[in-house]
Structure 1
């Protein structure tokens, strides 16, 4: 009995010894963040899941509505009709803007793409905790998939936009091909912003409640319903305000789409260096947002 009492308790192995033991047997930390190249490879390996998930979400979005997928086109068109009545008719924004209805509808459709991508990105992690905690996959797949869903919805809306352009006598031209690089750049920008907001929304879910107000303010500053070039030609604006309005990424992508599709929207209405601006915003948001999201990969779904 005394020998049992006199036996010293077993000492706990130092953390360094435990780490060496785990490494020797090929054990790794559960949920540890992979290296950036490995993370990119994991996303690429799951590209089919990402696109299938986006398509499934898009199909289910209006599954309970009687008009079904028609609402993908009707929703931005109804928004455009409301904006036309308030801004075009009551406030007179259409004065001095040729082809105002195509001008407005293009702005609404392109803005909706950015707005919806950021909104769904904000809830990409916090709104899918069950999926995040149940399955092991690169978490960036969720915000990227939601952005692809919004891109698919925009492509449906673009069919209605083409009909509107033709009904107002706007001719089909080679400049319409510029829609492709403009949409690619906007998608990269939107995906980067969605990744940023996904990380912020995962840590602070209350951000999702603030986003409608922030996005509404951003929309009013982006020339969706009015012409930025017409406003900036006046002398009453400080130069810094003019630069900020013209460099606004949402306005840049909207103006590029208008320039591509509307014959009366001339190159002189574009901000200076518009294509470098579009590329710069896409790279800054896309690369920066991806790295920012990846750095917190092991934290998503915990706590």
Structure 2
């Protein structure tokens, strides 16, 4: 009696069951296809530059509310409260007047020296504080950055808005000082609006640059006071650059650098706008073009520089 054995299937011939599984696997979409189908993106990935601008605009109310809350909380523990928003820059101006105006004699041959000095201190403080707070904008808010998804540029920009609000409080005191020292209101005061607008764009761009640098190098915030102090002394806050340079044997390149210094440009524009004794001859050549150029360079360049590292903030 013969025994018939079935021939096993050839390896090249797939079983019906295996063929169905392979077909199912081939038909299943990949994770990338699923993400594309449902519009999913990698969490924390950098959006395109136009999309990033749109996201910032959509969160404009958050940015302004955050800035106002920071300004309100700044002196909430002090007994004088928000009065310190005006007292702090005034006390700084008083110290500079004593040291530079009286002891070093920089007030000689400078008409309306007190309004001249106070204007310089207030405008410089706007830039100084914008840079300092911007340097710590990311590194000092890591809990917020890691907990919520939002465009990180909101933080340094909101800190600049906070400093602008602080400056507007100080400007109220400046107007009183101008009137007390016999500086009459004039149509030129309206020039302060475009001057402050250009300075705000410059400060915001510089703050964005420092925010990116400070997020990777926290020690930078310890170095900034020394760098800012050096910048202040070369910006004509306490003295007139025009009068100090006249009649001195200083290389022309040094004169040009001092006159084109962005902080000095915005300070001079504000003095020209508010103080009638500060005339156009004391301004550097093409001052409005300089102010607009610095604002465009720092504002646009700083924004793009910050955006390029958007997906790295708060990591590591």
* Class of the TM-score when normalised by the shorter of the 2 chains: over 0.9
Q: Structure 1 unaligned runs (5+)?
A: 1-16
Please state if 1:280 is matched with 2:312. no
Please state if 1:120 is matched with 2:146. no
CA displacement 1:269-297 (0-9 Å, x = unmatched): 00000000000000000000000000000
Q: 5 Å matches for 1:125-136?
A: 125-136=138-149
- In 1, Cα distance between the equivalents of 2:247 and 2:298? 31
In the alignment, which of 282, 296, 303 is matched to residue 309 of structure 2? 296
TM-fit CA distance, 1:21: 5.3
Runs of 4+, deviation exceeding 4 Å: none
In the alignment, which of 203, 213, 222 is matched to residue 209 of structure 1? 222
- In 2, Cα distance between the equivalents of 1:85 and 1:173? 29
Please state if 1:163 is matched with 2:172. no
Match of residue 38 from structure 1:
51
Match of residue 159 from structure 2:
146
- In 2, Cα distance between the equivalents of 1:148 and 1:26? 34
TM-fit CA distance, 1:28: 1.9
Please state if 1:187 is matched with 2:220. no
May I ask how many residue pairs the two structures share in their alignment? 288
TM-score if structure 1 supplies the norm length? 0.93
In the alignment, which of 211, 219, 230 is matched to residue 198 of structure 1? 211
Please state if 1:263 is matched with 2:276. yes
TM-fit CA distance, 1:20: 4.6
TM-fit CA distance, 1:25: 5.0
- In 2, Cα distance between the equivalents of 1:27 and 1:95? 67
Match of residue 62 from structure 1:
75
- In 2, Cα distance between the equivalents of 1:26 and 1:88? 64
Computing the radius of gyration from Cα coordinates, the structure with the larger value is 2
TM-fit CA distance, 1:18: 5.3
2:166 aligned counterpart, secondary structure? helix
